[in-house]
Amino acid sequence: MKGDLEPIELCQKLDRACNGKTAENGGIYKTVCGNPALPVYYFTDEDLIISEPQTFTPFPGLEKTYNGAHASYPEPDEAWSAKDAPPRYRSDLEAEDDGRRLIANLTYEAVPYKRQVQRLMRAAIEANRRFRSHQGVFTPAVKLLEPLDVIAWTSARNGYDNKRFQLGAVDDLNNVNQSAAFSELDPADYDWSSDYELPTTTGPLGRVKPQPRVLGSFGVFPATVKDALGVDRRPAIRAAWPYNNDDVAIRAIAFQVREAGKTDVMWRGRSDQPEEGEALLAPFSLLPDTDYEVKAKFVGGGNTELFAWSAWMPVRTPNVQLTAADILDGAIVAAKLADAAVEANKIMTGAVTELKLADRAVSDLKIKLAAIKTELIENQAVVAAALADVAVTQQKIATNAVTQLKIAADAVTEAKVAVDAITQGKIASNAVNELKLAAAAVTEAKVAVGAITQLKISTGAVGNAQLASLAVDAAKLATNAVTTTKIADDAITTPKLVTGAVVADKVAANAITAPKILVSDLTNLVMNGSFVGGSSDGWSGGGFELRAGTSRPGKTEYIGYLPAGSTSNITAQFPVNVPVSEGDQFYLAMDFASAGSGAAVDAAIQVVWYDATNSYLSTSSLTDSAGTSWKTRAGTINAPAGAAYIQRVNVIRQGTSVTLLYFTNVVLRKMASAELIVDGAIIASKVAALAIAATNIQAGAITAGKIAADAVTATNIVAGTITSTELASNSVVAAKIAAGAIVAGKIAADAVTAANVVAGTLTAVELASSSIIASKIAANAVTTDKIATNAVTANEIAAGTITATEIASGAITTVKLAAESITGAKIAANTIGANHIAANSITAKQLVIMDWENIAPNGQWITGDNAGWGSYPSGWNVVGAGARPPQRGDYILSTPGVADDRTMTTAGLDVPVQGGEQLNVQFDCAGSGSGASWEFRVRLVYYAAGSYLSGSTVTLSGTSVSWQRQNGTMSVPAAADRIQRIEITRAGGGSNNAFITNVVVRRKKGGELIVDGAISADHIRANAIETDKIVLGGVTTTKIDAGAVTNVVSAYASGSTSDHNNNVVRTVASATISGLTDANAVQVVFNCRTVQSARAGDAVSSRSTTTVVIKRGSTVIATRDIVDCALVDSGGIGRIGTMPAIAIAFADTGFTGSSATYSVEISSDYGGSGTCYTQQRFLQLMATKR
Task: Between 308 and 989, name the one with better pLDDT.
Answer: 308
Comparing CA positions, the residue from 1186, 1184, 1147, 1162 lying closest to residue 1109 is: 1162
How much of the chain, in percent, has pLDDT values that exceed 70?
Answer: 61
What is the predicted pLDDT for the residue at 843? Answer: 40
What number is the average pLDDT over the span 213-228? 92
Q: Residue 283 domain-assigned?
A: yes
Comparing CA positions, the residue from 1121, 1103, 1175, 1183 lying closest to residue 1151 is: 1183
Tell whether 962 and 1061 lie within a shared domain. Answer: no
Q: Residue 701 domain-assigned?
A: no
Q: Which amino acid is at 1125?
A: C
Q: Are 1139 and 1091 in contact (CB under 8 A)?
A: yes
- Could you report the per-residue pLDDT of 528-569, keeping only the tens digit for each? 999 988 999 999 998 899 999 988 898 999 999 999 877 789
Range of the domain at 542: 520-676
Q: Are strands 994-1003 and 1115-1124 parallel, antiparallel or unpaired?
A: unpaired
- Could you report the per-residue pLDDT of 331-343, keeping only the tens digit for each? 666 666 666 566 6
Contact partners, residue 218, CB within 8 Å, separation at least 6: 239, 240, 241, 295, 296, 310, 311, 313
What is the predicted pLDDT for the residue at 505? Answer: 55
Tell whether 181 and 228 lie within a shared domain. Answer: no
Tell whether 609 and 531 lie within a shared domain. Answer: yes
Kindly tell me if the per-residue pLDDT of 723 is higher than 80: no
Task: From 657, 676, 695, give the residue that closes a domain.
Answer: 676
Task: From 267, 296, 324, give the residue that closes a domain.
Answer: 324
CATH of the domain at 244: 2.60.40.10
What number is the average pLDDT over the span 473-479? 59
Max avg pLDDT among 541-555, 780-794, 808-822: 541-555
Q: How many CB atoms lie within 10 A of CB 672?
A: 14
Q: What angle, rounded to 10 degrees, do the helices at 114-128 and 7-17 form?
A: 100
Determine the Cα–Cα distance for residues 294 and 310; give it in Å rounded to an integer: 9
Tell whether 537 and 669 lie within a shared domain. Answer: yes
Task: From 658, 676, 694, give the residue that closes a domain.
Answer: 676
Tell whether 1001 and 1067 lie within a shared domain. Answer: no
3-state secondary structure of 445: helix
- Mean pLDDT, all residues of the chain: 77
Tell whether 249 and 155 lie within a shared domain. Answer: no
Determine the Cα–Cα distance for residues 840 and 831; give it in Å rounded to an integer: 19
- Alpha-carbon dihedral 579, 581, 587, 592, rounded to 10 degrees: 60
Q: Note the residue count of the chain.
A: 1186
Angle at 58 between CA 55 and CA 63, to 5 degrees: 110
Q: Which amino acid is at 978?
A: R
Q: How confident is the model at residue 316 (pLDDT cuts 50, 70, 90)?
A: very high
Q: Residue 860 domain-assigned?
A: no
What number is the average pLDDT over the span 621-630? 92
Task: Between 978 and 360, name the one with better pLDDT.
Answer: 978
- Could you report the per-residue pLDDT of 985-1018, keeping only the tens digit for each? 999 877 789 999 999 998 876 554 455 555 656 5
Q: How many CB atoms lie within 10 A of CB 870?
A: 12
Determine the Cα–Cα distance for residues 455 and 1075; give it in Å rounded to an integer: 73
Task: Give one DSSP letter per residue of 177-211, joined into a string.
Answer: -EEEEEEE--GGGG---GGGPPP-----SSPPPPP
Q: How confident is the model at residue 848 (pLDDT cuts 50, 70, 90)?
A: very low
Contact partners, residue 143, CB within 8 Å, separation at least 6: 172, 176, 178
Q: How confident is the model at residue 257 (pLDDT cuts 50, 70, 90)?
A: very high
**Quick one: which H or E segment has residue 957?**
strand 947-958
Contact partners, residue 978, CB within 8 Å, separation at least 6: 910, 911, 912, 913, 942, 943, 944
What is the predicted pLDDT for the residue at 720? Answer: 55
Determine the Cα–Cα distance for residues 207 and 210; give it in Å rounded to an integer: 10
Instruction: Kindly report the backbone phi and psi dihedral angles of residue 344, in degrees, each rounded to the nearest multiple of 5, phi listed first.
Output: -60, -45
Q: Are 137 and 48 in contact (CB under 8 A)?
A: yes
Q: Are 368 and 1025 in contact (CB under 8 A)?
A: yes
Task: Between 249 and 640, name the one with better pLDDT.
Answer: 640
Q: How confident is the model at residue 1022 (pLDDT cuts 50, 70, 90)?
A: low
What is the predicted pLDDT for the residue at 795? Answer: 47
Q: How confident is the model at residue 370 (pLDDT cuts 50, 70, 90)?
A: low
What number is the average pLDDT over the span 387-414? 66
Task: Between 893 and 445, name the one with better pLDDT.
Answer: 893
Kindly tell me if the per-residue pLDDT of 627 is higher than 80: yes
Q: Residue 186 domain-assigned?
A: yes
Task: Between 399 and 494, name the one with better pLDDT.
Answer: 399
What is the predicted pLDDT for the residue at 1003? Answer: 86
Q: How confident is the model at residue 323 (pLDDT cuts 50, 70, 90)?
A: confident
How many folded domains does the chain comprise? Answer: 5
Q: Are 688 and 488 in contact (CB under 8 A)?
A: no
Determine the Cα–Cα distance for residues 635 and 774; give it in Å rounded to an integer: 47
Q: Residue 773 domain-assigned?
A: no
What is the predicted pLDDT for the residue at 544? Answer: 93
Tell whether 631 and 603 lie within a shared domain. Answer: yes
Three-class DSSP labels, 872-887: CCCCCEEEEHHHCCCC
Q: How confident is the model at residue 691 (pLDDT cuts 50, 70, 90)?
A: very low
Kindly tell me if the per-residue pLDDT of 45 is higher than 50: yes
Q: Residue 1101 domain-assigned?
A: yes
Kindly tell me if the per-residue pLDDT of 160 is higher than 70: yes
How much of the chain, in percent, has pLDDT values that exceed 90?
Answer: 37
Q: Residue 1059 domain-assigned?
A: yes
Tell whether 219 and 188 lie within a shared domain. Answer: no
Q: Which amino acid is at 49?
A: I
Tell whether 146 and 264 lie within a shared domain. Answer: no
- Could you report the per-residue pLDDT of 1071-1088, keeping only the tens digit for each? 998 888 878 888 899 888
Sheet holding 645-653: strands in order across? Answer: 570-579, 645-653, 601-610, 616-626
Q: Which amino acid is at 530?
A: S
Element counts in the chain: helices (H) and strands (E): 3, 49
Comparing CA positions, the residue from 41, 44, 68, 244 lying closest to residue 151 is: 41
What is the predicted pLDDT for the residue at 886? Answer: 84
What is the predicted pLDDT for the residue at 514? Answer: 36
Kindly tell me if the per-residue pLDDT of 780 is higher than 60: no
3-state secondary structure of 577: strand
Tell whether 164 and 16 lie within a shared domain. Answer: yes
What is the predicted pLDDT for the residue at 688? Answer: 47
Tell whether 572 and 643 lie within a shared domain. Answer: yes
Max avg pLDDT among 7-16, 253-262, 782-791, 1022-1031: 253-262
Kindly tell me if the per-residue pLDDT of 236 is higher than 80: yes
Q: Are strands 313-316 and 645-653 parallel, antiparallel or unpaired?
A: unpaired
CATH of the domain at 1096: 2.60.120
Q: Are strands 1155-1165 and 1066-1074 parallel, antiparallel or unpaired?
A: antiparallel
What number is the average pLDDT over the span 254-282? 94
Q: Residue 784 domain-assigned?
A: no
CATH of the domain at 961: 2.60.120.260
Determine the Cα–Cα distance for residues 626 and 632; give it in Å rounded to an integer: 9
Tell whether 1056 and 1003 lie within a shared domain. Answer: no
Buried b (16+ CB within 10 A) or exposed e, 315-328: bbbbebeeeeeeee
What is the predicted pLDDT for the residue at 701? Answer: 46
Range in 315-319, 377-381, 1027-1031 with the lowest mean pLDDT = 1027-1031
What is the predicted pLDDT for the residue at 773? Answer: 55
Comparing CA positions, the residue from 999, 1004, 1002 lying closest to residue 905 is: 999
Provide the whole-model pTM: 0.28
